[in-house]
Amino acid sequence: MIPHGAAATSAESRVYVVPNPYRGRAGWDLTPSPSDPTGRHVDFLNMPRGAWTLRIYTIAGDLVEEIHNDDTQSNGRPQQESPDDGQASWNLISRNGQDVTSGIYLFSVASTMGTQRGKFVLIR
């Protein structure tokens, strides 16, 4: 099975998550390394140009993680390598340093272009 994305809306310019659903221990997971201790991640594509804030919530509305365009990923690379990068990565670790559980997650991306929202599923 090849991972696929589910668009936040039908518009091609909307932020979406791949793979969606995320399935733990799938073939696209990376081998853990010192620079990426989990090897797991989901990617958010079609991120807006310039500054943005990505917030990930549980279905109950609890904030799980907040990522900014100028943050550093767990592998040491910047979230946004250029203003046109268009993507962000999340290693499935909460802001409290815990592995997240299976479930439906919501996200919002706030930028100067407004706020976009969507959802994705994690299956452990």
pLDDT digits (tens, 9 = 90+) for 52-89: 999 999 999 999 999 999 998 877 888 888 878 899 99
The span from the CA of 58 to the CA of 32, in Å, is: 25
What is the pTM (predicted TM-score) of this model? 0.81
Give the domains, in start order, of the chain with CATH numbers. 6-123 (2.60.40.3080)
Q: pLDDT digit string (tens) for 67-76?
A: 999 998 877 8
Structure confidence at residue 23 as a pLDDT band (50, 70, 90): confident
User: What are the tokens at 49?
Assistant: 């140009």
